[in-house]
A and B are shown apart, each in its own frame.
Chain A
Amino acid sequence: MNPRNSPHHEPDPGPQRAAIDRYVKLVQSGEMNAYTEIVRHFEAPIRGFCTHILNDPAAGEDAAQETFLKAYRTIRSFRGESSFSSWLFRIARNTCIDILRKQKRESTKAQRHSLYEEGRSEGSASQRLEAQEQLSLLLQALSPVHREILLLREYHHMNYDEISSVLQCSIDAVKGRLKRARQEAQEYLRHLHENENVVQREETL
């Protein structure tokens, strides 16, 4: 996995991974400053991931900070059984799950429901949604389990193996979950576009 600044997200090239592994070993041996390079390398994808999972940039930034802090505190337990990137994403994912659970405890599902309904309801010109709004609505509408797996696959371009390492489940479970997530996403997008078309037709009348 690789941070990317271009819209196309290519997999992590080997030399970069080797450099990261070197920094990890340095941090494990007590060189705290080497951690700066690790944070610099992963901060954008981890912030992106947390922001999308939580669907909130401020909460995403806090979750990303917490992720890096937790990763630093437990870096000695990283044995290289998976890539460091997968390990880090696993921590980010667990951090976000904790936050979502906390949010769920604190509020009802009403807010999420209302946003979903907003996307479905008949309505106004604002329903001709730009891609970013559509994405935000889609992420909001998906269940957290489907949201995370779609993000890992389609946004961070992880392969099945890496995803199974992040989610700590079998490859078969990854495939099944991904399939259901795509079905849920497609159904939602179809619905959203249908609504958009209805609005457009109403406006032309």
Chain B
Amino acid sequence: MSKTGRATGEHSVGSIFTFALVGLFAVLALLLAVIGVRAYQSAVNTTDLNNQVRASISYVANKVRGGDNSGEIGIEQINGSSMLVLRQEIDGEKYATYIFYHDGALREAFMDAADEFDPEYSEKLVDASAFYVERLDYGLIHMNVSTIDGEDYWLHMAIRNEL
């Protein structure tokens, strides 16, 4: 091989190596970005799920504890689904708080106890895929919340008024 030919060969090998390095750099940068996005997405999803669970379970538990002191706690079946009903009297007027599952969310409605229950007049608490509540022996209430990811969380609550 002539001197010029060898020089051209070395030149092209050098160029290919340089381009390979640039390519490697680009691929690694892309990979890191993808891993970062996935890690961030996973963290956000878990946090979101955590918030859903905390918001639903803790909120309902606090409502039951509040109602345990001041009023009557009941469970009613409306449209085939169970619903937590907390009745209370404010300035001689009777009111009811309904906590129930409707349209992909756990919802709450506060209305005059004499009014007919309508889920349209309610506020969304948190996204969920199911909510179930039942009364057990010894003054226990058992509630079950399914998150939108399909995870089930349940809590038993003792009604202190009935102990």
The finding on whether chains A and B are genuine partners in a shared complex, rather than unrelated, reads no
